[in-house]
Amino acid sequence: MDKKAFFKLTYGLFVVGVEFEGQLNGCIINTAAQATSEPGRLVATMLKTNLTTELITKKGSMAVSVLSMDCPLDKIAHFGMQSGRTKEKFAGIPFEKDERGNPYIVEGTIARFSCRVEQTIDLGSHYLFICEVENCQTTGQQEPITYADYRKMKSGGAPKKPADAAAAGSEGASGGQAKQGKWVCSICHYVYDGEIPFEELPADWRCPVCQRGKEVFVLET
Ligand SMILES: Cc1cc2nc3c(=O)[nH]c(=O)nc-3n(C[C@H](O)[C@H](O)[C@H](O)COP(=O)(O)O)c2cc1C
């Protein structure tokens, strides 16, 4: 099976935010999609190990921010490459709270959805949340960023600003590795950027973001 086929599917990029008992957290997902229009429903597939997922299962609701083309790469890395277990992710990020108190970001976004979880389906590594949209709003007029745009920008393909290029470099997706290909986690999209060649990492090495083994990494050339 050629797992790179999964990268040919078209996705957007989103920040899912949640507040539970005073704790705010959020993470990047690319798996939000509309499921039905009457009533309005969204689905989202989320790693069980994410703090955001844990808080959503407790709260039963979440806010989804739709990211735009002017969202800087470092903001995507901020929410998608580190966990709220070790970092207060909303500190210093402009946000507002929805009707259920869940945070949505207001810069680099074009829409927000307030979602109540109707059903949770256990997919093993992930939960699939099926959500009723209780409210939604347009927050900007830019084009939405797609997951393909993000991957192109990360590999140095026409970043919009010098700051974005720097952010792409700091995530290790540019430079020498990009020429030979890079190892990407097919679960959480972490791009390996360590000093040791990926092939030489020990068999029990784990993705620092989602903790899955080497076998879920795909070489992208
Ligand atoms: C481009 C991109 C797409 C991602 N898509 C998803 C996704 O669809 N579902 C998911 O659970 N995690 C996804 N992740 C990974 C989470 O954002 C990541 O594990 C995050 O560190 C979790 O943070 P938390 O522990 O604070 O919730 C994605 C990350 C990136 C960079």
In a shared domain, residues 109 and 174: no
Q: Are residues 120 and 201 in the same domain?
A: no
Are residues 106 and 210 both part of a single domain?
no
User: pLDDT value at position 148?
Assistant: 87
Compute the distance between CA of residue 218 and CA of residue 133 in angstroms, rounded to an integer: 34
CA–CA separation, 155 and 82 (whole Å): 20
Ligand 1 midpoint to CA 51 (Å): 10
Residues 138 and 38 in one domain: yes
Total domains in the chain come to 2
Give phi and psi for 66, each to the nearest 5: -90, 120
- Give the C-alpha separation, 167 to 3, whole Å: 27
Out of 147, 178, 208, a domain closes at 147
Find out whether 13 and 150 touch, Cβ atoms under 8 Å: yes
Q: What is the pLDDT of residue 49?
A: 92
Angle at 153 between CA 196 and CA 128, to 5 degrees: 85
Q: Domain range for residue 127?
A: 10-147
- Asked if residue 107 belongs to a domain, the reply is yes
* CATH number of the domain to which 113 belongs: 2.30.110.10
1 belongs to a structural domain:
no
Give the Cα separation of 23 and 218 in Å (integer).
34
d(CA 188, ligand 1 centre) in Å: 5
Out of 147, 178, 196, a domain closes at: 147
5 inside domain: no
Model pTM score:
0.80
Q: Across the 221 residues of the chain, what is the mean pLDDT of every consecutive 10-residue run? A: 85 97 97 96 96 98 97 92 94 96 97 98 96 97 92 63 38 39 81 86 84 85 74
Question: Does 16 map to a domain?
Answer: yes
Do 121 and 201 fall into the same domain?
no
pLDDT value at position 157? 56
Q: 166 and 118: one domain? A: no
Q: What is the pLDDT of residue 83?
A: 93
Kindly give the distance from the C-alpha atom of residue 27 to the centroid of ligand 1, in angstroms, as a whole number: 5
Residue 175 structure tokens: 């430079």
Any domain includes 4: no
Q: How many CA atoms lie within 13 A of 220 on its CB side?
A: 24
Assigned domain for 113 exists = yes
Rounded to a whole number, what is the largest CA-CA distance in the chain? 52
Residue 2 lies in a domain: no
Measured between alpha carbons, how far is residue 45 from residues 42, 48, 108, 169 in Å?
Answer: 10, 9, 22, 28
Residue 220's H or E segment, with its range, is strand 217-220
Can you give the CATH number for the domain in which 172 is found? Answer: 2.20.28.10
Nearest C-alpha to atom 30 of ligand 1 is from which residue? 80
Same domain as 15, residue 45: yes
Residues with CB under 6 A from ligand 1: 25, 27-31, 45-47, 50-52, 76, 80-85, 150, 188-189, 209-210
Q: Does residue 162 share a domain with residue 126?
A: no
- 39 and 60 housed in the same domain: yes
User: Residue 195 in 3-state DSSP?
Assistant: coil
Q: Which residue has the tokens 């797609």?
A: 146
As a whole number of angstroms, the distance between CA 96 and CA 138 comes to 14
